[in-house]
Every structure is written in structure tokens, then in C-alpha cells.
Structure 1
């Protein structure tokens, strides 16, 4: 296939060629960035919470005086544990996909905030909570009775804690985290164990690599650990147990207020938390499909127009020996050149669009592997779109074609 005649024909139709190439460039930029955003959001939606979500619910009450925390906890735990189907009722400060209550920066040395390790979620938990959550311990040991310390202000001081594998690998890369020390201002913590996974309360607020930066902190109930109760039941019973618990709150503790919005099963909390992300994924996929559809229609329309204009030339070529395959390859090659030019512009435009998103939405760089994937999609789309008009051109008999016009 001679390329020069094709380029000469395209130069005679500069405006139409440029318009289609720009349309393909815009489609390439949108396709790459939209797919990148969809992949990030989908990965976050699929985050491993590390807990037995199907068996857990959380019930939150407020409106009581902090001085009454111990009394409220005692009444609530006694009442909740008496509900039929409740396997355990324990205290916790926050759960995955619920309200965030205790994020703070930590360092390797006390008060050394110039060398911040990162911001982690401190999850305060009473006795029995680790087992109720269904966390998987991969290193170290579980909390013992003497590990539960009273909280001074919000966090206990000099506490033995469990950390997630993800955060341990960030804080002490290539090292054994067991026995390692870290500080939150002047409060000291030492790692006694590592759990496989444990998602933060609000993972979407952080980068994907920070979604499990969680420190599980054993705390004596009372003070800052009050009002949020973790309920465990069989998966088939958890919804009924939660409804019974919500109904029982006015009888158990008439002096508290039930937090209706945050008293849900963990499955419902996850569903509600990622609702916006699922809507955004649908919108982005819709934009991609619409953009690709418009691009394909543009290619079909332009090629059909050119076929109609070139019927005489096609007939002459057929009459002097060109086969249907030659005609078909001509239009496919022509389309390939236009799409390739559009893709080259689109790759530059994709990085510009990504730079804008990075500036205003704090997204990371667009990975380079999205560019060849986008190029393959557009090359394939271009060849499919041009196939119909090209086949019609190749099917025109030489005599009919030469007599037209």
C-alpha cells in the first residue's frame, strides 16, 4: 500500500482531517483520564476492611455528660448483651466507613513533627473488641488484660498497640515492626502486634496507599471511649439484632440520644459511604461511552462522505485492476493515519488534563500504561467505524462507479 497518495488525498481535505483528528485527540485524553479515575475509585470501593462485615453492626448514642460515660457504658453493654441473637457487644471509637474520631500525626521521636511518619487513625477499643471485629493477627500477640490503659485526653500514654501491615511497611520498611516505638506528640506507643488489614473510617480522604493506616489501641472503657458499641451476631441475624438494639435504647438508657444516621450494619455503612463513588463511576463510564460513540459516528460520517466523493476514482482503480481488498485497505490505512495523528495529540492533551486534575483534585500522575491502552482502543474503534463505509466502497462494481458523477 502506497502511503504518499493517501497523504496527498488527506492534504486536499485538511479541515475535515484536522477536525476528526482533534475529536480523536479529545477522546484519547478523556478516555485515559476517565479510566484512571474509574480504576482508582473502583480500587477504593473494593478496599479490604479487615473485619467480618457481614456479622457486625454499630450503634452510637450521644447527648450524655462525659462524667456519666462509665455509667452509660455499663447500662448500654448490659442491655445490648441481653438482646436475643447478640453474640457480643463491645466498645469501639470508630469503625470502617463510619465517622472518623481520632486521626493524628505520628513520629519516630517525641515532638519531631518535621519528620512526620504520617497521619493514622487511632481506633480505641475495649476488651473483646479485637475478637468481635474478626481481625487477622499476622505477627505479635493479642491485647492482654493489662494492656488496656485509661485514656488521658483522647489517647492513652505509653500504650501497647496493634498496627496494620500496610502502615508498618510504610513506617519501618524492611524491618520487623514488633517492639518498635512511635509517638503522637509526647504520648508513647509500642507495637505489640500486626494485623493483616484494617481500613480507616474514611479511606477515600487519603491516597490508596494510606487507606489502612490504622492503629488499634486497647483502652479502658470510659472517658473518650463511650457511646459507640460494636454488635456481633450471625449474618442472618445482624439486621434484626440492630433493629432490636435501636428499639431498646430508650429503655436501656433514656437519658441518651440515638444517632440514627450512624447506627447501621457495617455492610450498610460501606454501601452508603461509597454511594457517591459508584455514581461517579457510572457518570465517567457514560462520558467515555458517549465520547467514543461520537468519535465513531464522526469517522463513519467522514468516510461515507469521502466514499461518495470518490466513487469515480474507486471505479477507475477497480477498472485498472484494483481488488476489493485494495480498496478496503486504502480506507483502513487512511483512517489509521488520521487516528494515529489524533492519538499523538491526545497523549499530550491527556497529560495536560491530568496536570489540571492534579492541581485542583490532588490526584497522582497518570500512569504511562494508560496511554497505549487508550491508543489500542481508539485504533480498534477507528478500524471498526471505517469498516462499513469501506466495504460499501469496495463492493461498488467498476462500471457503475465510472458512470456515476
Structure 2
């Protein structure tokens, strides 16, 4: 099809053509960045925690008044919980993934290092904490019983640490972390004895996505007063049953506590990512609304053009143009306008992403989102103009001529 007649017509209808171009350009810019943000949210929600989420439950407690020996009560609690029917492992922990509150420490490779190599979260708990969470060791071993300290001991002399694979790769790229030492709590070296595949932070805060798995575990016995998180691992089908039995067992063991929360780790994940989920759905709604508005705008302007150019259509039909040629004429016209708008929109999308990167520390927009947005708007434009174009193609030559 000849492009020159189409361009000539568009020059005579500059305002309407410009409106469609601007509408498509803005839609392209917004949709490309919205799809990118939705993808980021979905990727964030899909991150693994390292734990057996469908098997772990948490009972969070706090004390009433002050106990003379909270560590002894905690040890008694752990023993009682391990005897609850259905419980495979049980341990107290200072924090839990998806729990928002996070214990963080700088990690150095030398004792005199001025600036920390990275910031990591620190998990503390008993001998069963690793098994309770269901963490997978990929290198090394678990803590030996003689490596455990009490929180009241000199924790500046921690003998061993288990770290995540992500943390090991950051600290010792291209090397095995086993047997190497890090410096965190105090000036004494802490030997890496194990590496787990994954272990998520309870809350990454403003540290960025890279720090999500900068986690380590110290062999330090704590009391419920330091965290109050009792974790139990059981079969997925028995989680509710085990939670109720665990709460009853804790209440029997010591009445001087308040049960704050009882929930599964899956419920904690759902709550933790609720804002991300809401944001993703909001962006989906914005994209759908924007596409509908854009389609209605194209339909409205295309219908207006068909009405304004009835005589021109009739003349072309009288000169031998077929319905298919008239249809392709309007589709080609829309394709040209959409292409101009998309090119401008992709430039705006990239510029908007640079602004978001600067203001909100978002990653760079992957180029794959630009052609995705372009294809979506090309298809939308062709579908939107199809109705008016078919009406134009259906105009009889005689009727078009009499309407002059």
C-alpha cells in the first residue's frame, strides 16, 4: 500500500493525529515501567527463604514481670515443646524470616578493617534451630554441642558460624568459605564451619535486594526474653493441631507469659508481602485502565475520521478500491501513528526509569520490556481501529457520493 497518501491525509488532520500519538506515547511509557515494577514485585514475592515454610509454625511470647532465670525456663520450654505430639524439631530463636524485626551486624575480613565488607543479619538459637527451619547445608557441618555458648557468656569469643551461600560468595568469591574466618562480634576471629543454601533476612530494610540472603547463624543459647520466638517443625497437615498443643504446653510450663502470636511461616510470608501484592494488583489495574482509555481514544478518533472522510472513501470505492483495501488503509494509518507514539513512548519510558533509579534506587529497566510494551500497543491499536475501519470499508460508493 502507498504510504504517501496516508501521510498527506495525516498532515491535513494534524491535531487528531497528534492526539493519538501523544496518547500512545504516554501509554507506552507508563505501561513499560508498570510492567517492570510488576515483574519486580512478583520476583520479590517469589524469593526463597531457605526454610521449610509449609512445615514451620511460630509461637511468639513475652514475659509478665521479670523471671529470675529466663534461660532455664526457655530450656524447659524447648524440652516441653519437643514432646508435643507431631513436633519433629523445636527451638527458640531471636528472630524469624518475614518477622520484620532484624538483628544486624557488620562483617569484616580483618580485625582492623575500617568499613564492613557487608552487613548481615544474625540468627541465634539452640542445637535444633537449623533442623527446625529445615535449612539445607551445602558445605561443612552443623554446630558441635561444645561450640554453644549462653547469651550471658563472653560472646566476643564465638567459636563458629554458619553462613549462607550468598554471603560466602560475597566474602570469598571463587573460594570455599569453610575454615576461613570472619570478624563480627568483637575482635576475635569466627571460623566458618558450614554454608547453607538459603536463609533470608527477617527484614532487608533499605539495604537493597542483594542483602536479602546475607545471613549468619551463631551457636548461642538465648532465653525467650531475647526474642520470644518458639519455632516448631511438623507435618503440614498437623500445623494447626501442633500450634494449639504448643500454646497449651507453654501455658502449663509457666503462667507468667503472654502469647502474642501463633501462626505458620506461610502466613507470615503472606503478611510480609501483602504490600507488594497490593502494589502489583494496583499496577495491573492501572495498566488495564490505561489500555482501555487508549483503545477508546483510538476508536473515537478513528470513527470521527471515518465520518469526516466519507466522501473520500466513496470516491476511492467508485474508482475500484475494494473493501479490503479500505480496511488496510485505516489499519496502516493507525500503525504509522502507533509507531511514532511508541518510539516517543519508549524514550519516555527509559527516561522515567532513570528518574526512578535516582529517586527510589530501582534497578535499570531491562530492554525486553520496551518491545513487550510496543507489541501490546501495536496490537491494541489494530484491534481498536478494526471496528471503524470495517464501517468505512462497508460504505457503498453511491451513498458516499450522495453524502457529499
> How high is the TM-score relative to the length of structure 1?
0.92
Equivalent residues of 2:93, 2:229 under 8 A apart: yes
1:148-197 residue CA offsets vs partner (Å, 9 max, x unmatched)? 23447896534322221222222222222222222226353222221111
Paired residue for 1:401? 400
Provide the residue aligned with 2:321 in structure 1: 322
1:210 Cα offset (Å): 2.6
For 2:263 and 2:112, the matched residues in 1 are separated by 38
Unpaired segments ≥5 residues, structure 1: none
Find the counterpart in structure 1 of residue 87 from structure 2: 86
Determine whether 1:338 maps to 2:337: yes
CA shift digits 1:2-22 (9 cap, x unpaired): 222212211212122112211
- Return the alpha-carbon distance in structure 2 between the equivalents of residues 378 and 226 of structure 1: 52
Does the aligned pair in 1 maintain the 2:102–2:201 contact within 8 Å? Answer: no
SS of match in other structure, 1:236:
helix
Corresponding residue for residue 142 of structure 1: 142
Q: Distance in 2 between matches of 1:105 and 1:370?
A: 37
Go from structure 1 to structure 2 and tell me whether the alpha carbon gap of 1:153 and 1:210 turns closer, same or farther (over 3 Å shift): farther
Instruction: Please tell me whether the aligned partners of residues 124 and 225 of structure 1 are also in contact (alpha carbons under 8 angstroms).
Output: no
**Alignment check: 8 A CA contact 1:125 1:225 kept:** no
Once the two structures are overlaid, the 10-residue window that deviates more, 291-300 or 147-156, is: 147-156
- The question of 1:349 aligning with 2:348 is answered yes
Structure 1 contact 70–226 (Cα < 8 Å) conserved: no
Q: Secondary structure at the match of 2:120?
A: strand
Checking the alignment, whether the CA contact within 8 Å between 1:339 and 1:378 is kept in structure 2 is yes
Report if aligned partners of 1:29, 1:350 keep a CA contact under 8 Å in 2: yes
Tell me if the contact between 1:73 and 1:226 (Cα under 8 Å) persists in the aligned partners: no
Quote the residue 1:391 is aligned against. Answer: 390
Would the aligned equivalents of 1:315 and 1:400 in 2 still touch at CA under 8 Å? yes
Which residue pairs with 1:240 in the alignment? 241
The CA distance in 1 between the partners of 2:155 and 2:102, in whole Å, is 11
Instruction: Tell me the distance in 2 between the aligned counterparts of 1:153 and 1:46.
Output: 39
- Cα deviations by residue, 1:240-290 (Å, 9 ceiling, x for unpaired): 211232344333222223223xx3210111111111111111111000000
- Give the Cα separation in 1 of the matches to 2:154 and 2:93: 13
Taking the aligned partners of 1:210 and 1:376, their CA distance within structure 2 comes to: 35
Report the alpha carbon displacement of residue 335 of structure 1 after superposing the two structures with TM: 0.8
Query: What's the secondary structure of 2:216's corresponding residue?
Result: strand
Which residue of 2 is the match for residue 199 of structure 1?
A: 200
The answer to whether structure 1 residue 40 and structure 2 residue 78 are counterparts is no
Contact 1:111–1:183 under 8 Å retained in 2: no
Q: Secondary structure at the match of 2:121?
A: strand
**Matches of residues 4-15 of structure 1 in structure 2 within 5 Å?**
4-15=4-15
Gap runs ≥5 in structure 2: none
Q: 1:298 to 1:110 in 2, by over 3 A?
A: same
1:69–1:227 CA contact under 8 A, matched in 2: no
TM-score norm. by structure 2 comes to 0.92
Please give the alpha-carbon distance, in whole angstroms, between the structure 2 residues aligned to 1:274 and 1:154. Answer: 37
> Which region of structure 1 is more displaced relative to structure 2, 168-177 or 182-191?
182-191
Equivalent residue, structure 1, for 2:254: 253
| Deviation by residue 1:53-79 (Cα, 9 ceiling, x = unmatched) | 111111222236486321220232233
Match of 1:59 in 2: 59
Give me the CA root mean square deviation.
2.3
CA contact (8 A) 1:149 1:156 kept: no
**Matched-pair contact (CA < 8 Å) for 1:140–1:193:** yes
